[in-house]
Structure 1
Amino acid sequence: MRALTAPAAPPHADAERNRDGAAELARWLAPVSAGARTAGPEGDARCRGFGYLRLLLWQAAPAQLSRTPRTVAREPLDAVAVVLPRHGTTAVTQDGRGATVGAGELTLIDLRRPFALERAAGASVLLCRLPAHALGLSVADLRPVLGRVVPVGGDGVAALLGPLLHGLGASSDAMSATVGERLGGVVTEFVAALVNEWNEPPQEPTDSGCPGREALLRAVREHIDRHLGDPDLCPERIAAAHGISVRYLHRLFEAEDTTVGRLVHRRRVEQCERELSRRGRVSPSISAVAQRWGFRSPAHFSRAFKAVYGHSPRQWRAAALGATQSAPPRA
């Protein structure tokens, strides 16, 4: 491991690009240590400032970064960061809690304490750093959100924060310093509101006939399995079908090592795999299987299937049917 430190980033709004992504992260995000990585450049980091807010788009080659207890003690910070993947996944670990965050999700890390961050190959992630004191929140307030997968969709604050950060990342470099400072303040208010939202107890169903948590989880899973073929199946519809809020639905799955969206995605892929593996005289086309289980396009299905099983649907079917096709004809 090698320590990476650099002088503080300039306070004014600007844009920079450097192929040494880890060095740029050390300068704009926090002093970190870089672990082993694949051969070649670490990727590039595009960095911009909006007042005291810093945005970093980090992409290309896979990389592992960590902020160790020794680094924290040697170079303390007063900052937190929002981790918002644009493509692929980024794994975050802090306080013994790990989260693999994908596109359409976000999480928070506290830069004042040790953490580890690993970006998958080909992934790009937007990192937003802001002063911790500007949030007006304690460490205890932040802890419930750190390392948690927070869906950007739905009806909560994250549904507003995610698009705002993506928009700032793609905005023009010609923005004035005054406008940039105001936008930095807006983002800070959204992040503080997100933390407050996740610290509030969820609004649980009050109907006396409503089932308990385990029974409700079971009912939600059964509902998902019954409606996998509906391409419009989403957290909003699932929550409405059970008379609960979308936020409460997400809270139900906190201890399940998955999210509602990931469960729907995985169950669809599993059902497609079972159908593609069947051996019969007449087999449906791959596109027909994808459509039957709720995928809107064969291309989307192919990417999803390969991400789970490591092979394309066509390769998987060929392997499953290979024994039958290669068997000699009966006398």
Structure 2
Amino acid sequence: MRPVLMTATVPEADRNSVWERGVRQWLAPLRVGFPPGSASCHGTLWAGDLAYVRVLSVQADPVRLGRTASLTASAPAARLALALQVSGTAGLRQDGRGAVLQPGELALLDLRRPFFLEQHRRFRMHLVRVPCAALGAAQGRVERVTGRALRTDGGIAALLEPLLLGLAQQDAPTPARVADRLAGNVADLLASLVDEQTREPGAGPADARRQLSALVRRYIDAHLRDPELSPAGIADAHGISLRYLHLLFEGEETTVRRLIRRRRVEECARELARRQGVVPTISAVARGWGFRNATHFSRSFREVFGMSPREWRAAGGQPAALVARSTDA
């Protein structure tokens, strides 16, 4: 990463305003506050992009960052930021929860909604900023993870901590193919973190029907790229009748075929958002996720997201309603 802002090179009287502009430019539109009597902020901001993921590292005096309701309305951002507190402590509030971040702890910030992050003393923090669409279905559960301090001594968080530390220490330019792969690893791990953190605590074993339904869903996800994937093949793979397979999903307001189609569309949307402006083509992405017919893919995509695949990629992976709100703002 390279330093993109060093207040040591700025006249002391201008440091606070320059720091605020830099944070807003590189992370998101935010309100930046400083402790009473603080004449100037001493800080350095490093930044680098890996395809669609932005990596940031901040070392600075105490500061308070706020993404307010007015900012989310006037400057919407369909992104998430995963933060690693390296030194110092910080108070965090989002979605009705609050926590104190200690060194070595992670926090997930949803830039679509208001939050407040206050660093109590001089600090160092690493962040990765990821498009919400890159998390696929997991982005719908992010609200249950925000406003919490996540320990890094086990689970997916234990894998993310060294990854963030390593990314923050990268000095040499990363080849485009490697950067795209690293961005995918970050997005996949972040989605896995959300999945892990949103499991119901203390839940006992599900009944046989729920267990089988979960197995079928995992099987579908694992075979989405296979254009031959079908309800009959899924039933055979699990040793059940086709009729019983359909019964499993009767209470879930979907059918097996609709679930396969929707999951394929979601994965295509996720890849298109990741690879904005980068090959492969839209038709290649569709084929890669099991769609044989371009017209069928476009129609299915519009049914799920309310826009064509081309419009989705041009909008950076934002749903139609959000794009309309952003345009009207």
Distance 2:33 2:3 in 1: 27
Q: Aligned-pair distance for 1:96?
A: 2.2
Does the 8 A contact of 1:81 with 1:109 survive in 2? yes
Q: Which runs of 5+ in 2 are unaligned?
A: 8-17, 206-329
| Superimposed CA distance per residue, residues 6-60 of structure 1 (whole angstroms, 9 cap, x where no aligned partner) | xxxxxxx865333244322211211011123322225221111111111111112
CA distance in 1 between partners of 2:116 and 2:132 (Å): 19
**Contact 1:18 1:24 survives alignment (8 Å):** no
Counterpart amino acid of 2:4?
E
1:256-281 CA-to-partner distances (Å, cap 9, x unmatched) read: xxxxxxxxxxxxxxxxxxxxxxxxxx
Query: Runs (4+) of structure 1 moved beyond 4 Å?
Result: 203-206
Structure 1 gap ranges (5+): 1-12, 207-331
What TM-score results when the alignment is normalised by the length of structure 1? Answer: 0.55
Q: Map 1:208-227; keep pairs closer than 5 Å.
A: none
Partner of 1:130, secondary structure, is strand
- After superposition, the C-alpha distances for 1:68-94 in whole angstroms (9 at most, x for unaligned) are 111111111110111111111122111
Match of 1:317 in 2: none
Counterpart check, 1:187 vs 2:211: no
Q: Is the 8 A contact 2:92 2:99 kept in 1?
A: yes
The 1:22/1:102 distance shift into structure 2, 3 A limit, reads farther
Q: Does 1:145 align with 2:145?
A: yes
Aligned length: 193
Equivalent residue runs for 1:136-175 within 5 Å? 136-137=136-137, 140-154=140-154, 156-175=155-174
Residue aligning to 1:18: 6
Query: Normalising by the residue count of structure 2, what TM-score does the alignment of the two structures yield?
Result: 0.55
In structure 2, distance between residues paired with 1:36 and 1:200: 38
Counterpart CA distance in 1 for 2:119 and 2:111 is: 17
Determine the C-alpha separation between the residues in 2 that align with 1:91 and 1:170: 25
CA 1:159 to 1:33, structure 2 compared with 1: closer, same or farther past 3 Å?
A: same
| Mapped contact 1:90–1:125 kept (Cα < 8 A) | no
Aligned residue for 1:34? 32
Rounded to whole Å, the distance in 1 between the matches of 2:60 and 2:24 is 17
Mapped partners of 1:85, 1:99: distance in 2: 12
* CA shift for structure 1 position 109: 0.9
Does 2:48 correspond to 1:60?
Answer: no
Look up the SS of the partner of 2:34 in the other structure.
coil
One-letter amino acid of the structure 2 residue matched with residue 182 of structure 1? R
Root mean square deviation, CA, Å = 2.0
1:137 CA displacement:
3.3
- What is aligned with 1:115? 115
Match of 2:76 in 1: 76
Deviations 1:238-259 (A, max 9, x none): xxxxxxxxxxxxxxxxxxxxxx
Given that residues 53 and 183 in structure 2 are in contact (C-alpha distance below 8 angstroms), is that contact kept between their aligned partners in structure 1? yes
Looking at structure 2, the residues matched to 90 and 135 of structure 1 have their Cα atoms a distance apart, in angstroms, of 26
Q: What fraction of aligned residue pairs are identical, expressed as a percent?
A: 37
d(CA) in 2 for partners of 1:137 and 1:102? 30
Quote the Cα distance in structure 1 between the aligned partners of 2:73 and 2:200. Answer: 34
Given that residues 66 and 114 in structure 1 are in contact (C-alpha distance below 8 angstroms), is that contact kept between their aligned partners in structure 2? yes
Residues in 1 aligned to 2:113 and 2:180: alpha-carbon distance in whole angstroms: 26
Paired amino acid for 1:65: L
